[in-house]
Amino acid sequence: MKIGNIELTEKEANQFYFDKKRYIVSYRRIYQLNWCENYKHGGGVYGTEIYYHKGDLPLTKKGRFFAMTAEQVNKLLGFNLLRV
């Protein structure tokens, strides 16, 4: 499965989703993992971009990503982007 430039296995995506780490932070972008019952015949995780960081410094090194909770994302950004 591919979310932006990030490639995850279906198992990894499901693990992040069910561990409540539903936000993927990569360089300047934040993606949200969602669940759809109709995705891949029986349900599955997919991702959508929810934020682009325009600050001077990126959020991660290029090519790296972190799976985070909503609280961790808000702390990283320094403001409440996500409802906790």
Rounded to whole angstroms, the Cα distance separating 57 from 84 reads 25
Query: Which token pair is 6?
Result: 């990030």
Predicted structure pTM score: 0.92
φ/ψ bin of 20: left (φ > 0), alpha (ψ from -120 to 50), beta (otherwise): left
**pLDDT at residue number 78:** 96
C-beta of residue 13 within 8 angstroms of C-beta of residue 43: no
pLDDT in tens, the chain (84 residues): 899 999 999 999 999 999 999 999 999 999 999 999 887 677 889 999 999 999 999 999 999 999 999 999 999 999 999 998
**pLDDT at residue number 41:** 73
**pLDDT at residue number 77:** 97
